[in-house]
Chain A
Amino acid sequence: MKLICALIFTFSSTLFAEEIVIYSARNEQLIKPIFDLYKKETGVEIKFITDKEGPLMQKLKAEGKDTPADILLTVDAGNLWQAANEDLLAPVTSKTLTKNIPSHLRDPKNRWFGFSVRARTIFYNKDKVKASDLSTYEDLATEKWNKKLCLRTSNKVYNQSLVAMMIAEHGEKKAEEIVSGWVKNLATNVFPDDTKLIEAIDAGICDVGIANTYYYGKYAAGKTDTKVALFWPNQKAKGVHVNVSGAGITKFAKNKKAAILFLEWLSSDKAQNLFVDENYEFPANDKIKPSDKIAGWGAFKPNVINVSRAGELQASAVKLMDRAQYK
């Protein structure tokens, strides 16, 4: 009898080990190919559910120790920081992960790791602006860009992180002056998404704007005659603002080992390019070369301040943007 029990136990535990459950705020079309490849290589099935990050975290919280989720996968360091802050993620000791992922792209306590990097940079209309006129994010607040700047809504976490990083770098007072300067320089109301903003630069409604690189990648992919060009700012200062999409192991993960193995695989050269390519992002593992698709944008110096600061300072950033009337 004991033997049967033991057999059933081992059998069922191996059965369960063949499956990982992921809650993901990164959309299906960007993660499914990766999960399929992982299954092909290892036989491990990945079950997943997608949603916005806020509700996913609440779901994890409500389920508590009964949660089926092993991994929380989400976009933006601010959200990852929040998940760790709410005690939803467990610290992970993995040499592979700490070796493959640079320290500024992961939680100082190793509760989450960035797996793809997106840069939030400056775009400009080639007919109206010379690259030599551009320098920094901060410069966009000066008078020479009066009525020439386009911004996306401050409701989007990408802008909240950008401003949070400026607080980290300059302190709140100066950051607020910069943001107020941006608002004064707006050519038109803020835009609902980055694509619309890039369209507006292309149409000449504004001369410059700030957007994530991958929106530009997708926008330019279908076009031969775009007037929009990319500029890497702050190269003589701290560097371009980067953010991550990343993941952590949930506190009550049932298949912790299998889940860590998956994250390690995700940081390897086998998976990195596939994970980032479809979305025109950069590999987080800096030993891996970006694909040709994005290499054409040129090399740039990223800001290596730890991305978790974006989470810590996000609430302050949001309040600051409210005060500066950045809608």
Chain B
Amino acid sequence: MPKLSFSKIVSLLVGIVVTIPIFIIYTSFVNIDYEIWAHLRSYVLPELIINTIKLVFGVSFGTLILGVPLAYFNAFYNYPGRKLFSFLAVLPMSLPAYITAFVYIALFDITGLWSLGLKNLLGLEGFFPGIRNVYGVSLVLSFCFYPYVYLMAKNAFESQGRRAFEVSEVMGISKSKTLLKIVLPLSRPWIISGLMLVIMETLADFGAVSIFNYTTFTTAIYRSWFGLFSLQSAQQLAALLVSVVFIFMTAEHFASSQKNFTPVGKSQATLRRKKLSLIQSFLVIMFSSTVSLFAFFIPLFMVGKWALKVASRDLDSRYFSFVFNSIEIAILVVIILLILSSCMSYAVRKYKGAIGTTIKHLSSLGYAVPGSVLAVGTFLFLTFVESSLKLPQRILTSGLVALLVGLSIRFYSIALTPLTASFLRVSDSHFHIIALSGQKKIQGFFKAILPMIKPGLLTAALLVFVEVMKEMPMTLMTRPFGKETLAIRIFEMTSEGEWERAALPSFFLIIVSLIPTILLFIQSEKSYEK
């Protein structure tokens, strides 16, 4: 029986609290509406399941093909403008997927500005086929989500991959062989965990896929709830979705847990990037700038253009408070999640038993649950606590508490993923050294461990910040009166299809999200140059 340390108790508690709203979703199975299920089974699910699988494959392929090469070039090589391009590569994260989706439909679908313009220019008969299909939606979601894979892969490459290259160079192994046989397999847990986030976000997405009118499993969840008035069936569907994700996670965990991923050798920070030749540099620059153009600059340009158009009508002094509230909530959630997920990943790192791992996996499932379903689960949980503990009226649900709890549950895995990954780099010997040096545990943590997990902490902070900024369903349901944010503003405009008016708050949202992105970039460059 391992000794129960403070971090273990905290992480156990956190794990339980975070898991309860997900558990509430499972309680919906006490009552099954067989008629609805029979209907779903014969008319709805077969197609949607196939659609969802196609989309998950499409987006996984897309994010890997964009994220891994970008991470590879920026981590291992030097070329003119590398710093700029490695910065540009993370920017699409600040764009909400539904905004990028709308821009793409507005430009490239059959009635799109670009499609109609080109048709008139060339004097064509007929119309372009449009992009409301699996290819279009996969492409756009890949543009939106590849930064997760990019960040995790770059992290992995920078912290150990380059050493592997040096070692194999000495041993005379070819570059491509090193990449395929050593670097990629060694970085697998990082890349997979980035991909896991992508998959969860894809599964939970409703905004972007509905703009493309692409029906997925999540469509069935909302259709059962809003159309068939059966929240219960919706929760049951969500529970199934979450179970599948859980099985995937566990399988991946067992596949990779047998291996050791601590770095080869030490002080990897001293390694130098290799210079690319002129032609190679040119190709890399072309690739990077094409990705940035489509994933960031085109959407940003359109959002900016529409925002200018509606600014005279909609821009007022309230925007100060929208911006302030968005930042305030995001920062609070970042602080909460960094503390909680550090505890969890520290505890789980040392404690490799099945319970710890299961709790860790269960607690990160919030990200795979469609937003509104999780929001209802969270709200029910909080009102249940209020009434069963006989707390003063609405003490949890009327203030900021509900919002912070809800968002923390939703984005727990976003913070946990990079942190767990960076704790993989901390080997047992680090802890032995601390123990031997006679320092206090906490002192040793700050001196020795913190610098090692710093990249993970920064990545987690950035991811959580931009995700909270963009989040809608939980913020809508649990915000206190008057706590309006930029995302809420976007919701107000888009709920009746006024997309161009939504561009104004979106523009502010993107600009605000750029701040932590820039800070993260400066920090990571610094820690690298050291």
Q: Which residues of A contact B (CB under 8 A)?
A: 21, 25, 27-30, 47-55, 58-59, 62-64, 66, 68, 82, 85, 153, 155, 157, 160, 188-196, 199-200, 202-203, 205, 215, 218, 279, 314-315, 318-319, 322-323, 327
B383 contacts A318, C-beta separation under 8 Å: no
Number of interface residues of B (CB under 8 A): 53
Interface contact B225-A27, CB-CB below 8 Å: no
Known contacts A66-B393, A215-B497; is-contact A55 B376 (Cβ 8 Å)? yes
Q: Which 7 A-B pairs have the closest CB atoms?
A: A318-B227, A322-B43, A193-B497, A199-B111, A51-B476, A27-B492, A62-B383
Q: Is the CB of B394 within 8 A of A66?
A: yes
Contact of A194 among B397, B493, B497 (CB under 8 A): B497
Give every chain B residue within 8 A of A318 (Cβ-Cβ).
Answer: 223, 227-228
Residues from chain B with a CB closer than 8 A to the CB of A327 are 213, 215
| Residues of chain B lying within 8 A (CB to CB) of residue A63 | 383, 394, 397
Interface string of B500-521 (1 = CB under 8 A from A): 0000000000000000000000
Which A residues are CB-close (under 8 A) to B498?
Answer: 218
Q: Pick the contact of A200: B110, B133, B398, B491 (CB < 8 A).
A: B110
In angstroms, how far is the closest chain B Cβ from the Cβ of A205? 6
A188 to chain B, nearest CB (A): 6
With both chains docked as a complex, state the minimum distance between the C-beta of A20 and any C-beta of chain B, in angstroms.
12
Q: Is the CB of A153 within 8 A of B213?
A: yes
Q: Are A49 and B375 in contact (CB under 8 A)?
A: no
| A residues in contact with B227, CB < 8 Å | 155, 157, 160, 314-315, 318
With most chain B CB atoms within 10 A of its CB, the pick from A28, A53, A196 is: A196
**Among B44, B110, B211, B476, which residue has its beta carbon within 8 angstroms of that of A55?**
B476
A192 to B101, CA, bound (A): 12
Docked CA distance A49–B480 (Å): 8
Among A49, A189, A195, A203, contact of B132 (Cβ-Cβ < 8 Å): A189
Main secondary structure of the interface of A (DSSP, over half): helix
Complex contacts, A203 vs chain B, CB 8 Å: 110-111, 116, 127
CA distance A180 to B150 in the complex (A): 46
Interface centre among B109, B132, B213, B488 (most CB of A within 10 A): B213
Within 8 A of A (CB), among B171-225: 210-213, 215, 219, 222-223, 225
* Cβ contact within 8 Å between A192 and B379: no
Q: Which of B229, B379, B380, B397 neighbours the largest number of chain A CB atoms within 10 Å of its CB?
A: B229
Cβ of A240 to closest chain B Cβ, rounded Å: 20
Question: Is the pair A196, B479 in contact by a Cβ cutoff of 8 Å?
Answer: no
Q: Are A50 and B43 in contact (CB under 8 A)?
A: no
Q: How far is the CB of A67 from chain B (nearest CB, A)?
A: 9
A64 proximity list for chain B (CB < 8 A): 383
A159 to chain B, nearest CB (A): 10
One digit per residue, 1 when the CB lies within 8 angstroms of any chain A CB and 0 when it does not, for chain B 381-421 equals 00100100000011001100000000000000000000000
22 contacts between A and B (CB under 8 A): A21-B481, A27-B492, A28-B484, A30-B496, A47-B482, A52-B473, A55-B476, A58-B231, A58-B376, A62-B376, A63-B397, A66-B394, A68-B398, A85-B229, A155-B215, A155-B227, A196-B105, A196-B111, A203-B127, A205-B110, A215-B497, A322-B43
Chain B residue contacts of A193, Cβ below 8 A: 497
In the complex, A322→B476 CA distance in Å? 30
Contact A192 B492 (CB under 8 A): no
CA–CA, A52 and B495, complex, Å: 8
Taking a contact as CB atoms under 8 Å apart, the answer to whether A49 and B479 are in contact is: yes
Contacts of B130 in A (CB 8 A): 188-189
In the complex, what distance in Å separates the CA atom of A50 from the CA atom of B230? 22
Does B524 belong to the interface (CB within 8 Å)?
Answer: no
Contacts of A28 in B (CB 8 A): 484, 492
Q: Mark B443-479, 1 if CB is under 8 A from A, else 0.
A: 0000000000000000000000000000001001101
Docked Cα-Cα span, A100 to B82, in Å, equals 68
CA–CA, A192 to B105, complex, Å? 10
Q: Give the docked Cα–Cα distance between A4 and B227 (Å).
A: 53
B380 neighbours in A (Cβ, 8 Å): 58, 62
For B393, what are the chain A residues with a Cβ–Cβ distance below 8 Å? 66
Residues of A within 8 A of B77 (CB): none
Q: Are A29 and B492 in contact, CB atoms less than 8 angstroms apart?
A: yes
CA of A29 to CA of B230, assembled, Å = 30
Say yes or no: B394 contacts A190, CB within 8 Å: no
Contact string against A for B residues 292-310, beta-carbon threshold 8 Å, 1 for contact and 0 otherwise: 0000000000000000000
**A58 to B383 CA separation, bound complex (whole angstroms):** 12
B151 to chain A, nearest CB (A): 31
The complex places the Cα of A205 from the Cα of B498 at a distance, in Å, of 22
Interface status of B358 (Cβ within 8 A of chain A): no
Instruction: Check B39 for interface membership: any CB of A closer than 8 A.
Output: yes
- Known A63-B383, A203-B116: A192·B213 in contact at CB below 8 Å: yes
Q: Which residues of A contact B111 (CB under 8 A)?
A: 196, 199-200, 202-203, 205
Contact B476 A62, beta carbon cutoff 8 Å: no
**From B43, B213, B228, B481, contact of A190 by CB (8 A):** B213
Minimal Cβ-Cβ distance residue in B for A51: B476
Q: How far is the CB of A206 from chain B (nearest CB, A)?
A: 10
**In the complex, per-residue mask of B17-54: 1 if CB is within 8 Å of any chain A CB, else 0:** 00000000000000000000001000110000000000
Closest to A153 in B: B213
Looking across the interface, which residue of chain B has its beta carbon closest to that of A49? B481
Take A55-B473, A153-B213, A155-B227 as given contacts and tell me if A322 and B497 are in contact as well, using a CB distance cutoff of 8 Å: no
Give bound CA distance, A188 to B495, whole Å: 24
Choice from B127, B210, B213, B386 contacting A189 with Cβ under 8 Å: B213
A315 CA to B43 CA, complexed, in Å:
14
A191 contacts which chain B residues (CB < 8 A)? 213
Chain A residues with Cβ below 8 Å from B383 are 62-64, 66
Q: Quick check: is B287 within 8 A (CB to CB) of the other chain?
A: no
Distance in angstroms between the alpha carbons of A318 and B224 in the assembled complex: 9
Nearest B residue to A321, CB-CB: B227
A52 and B476 in contact, given A27-B496, A63-B397, A196-B111 (Cβ under 8 angstroms): yes
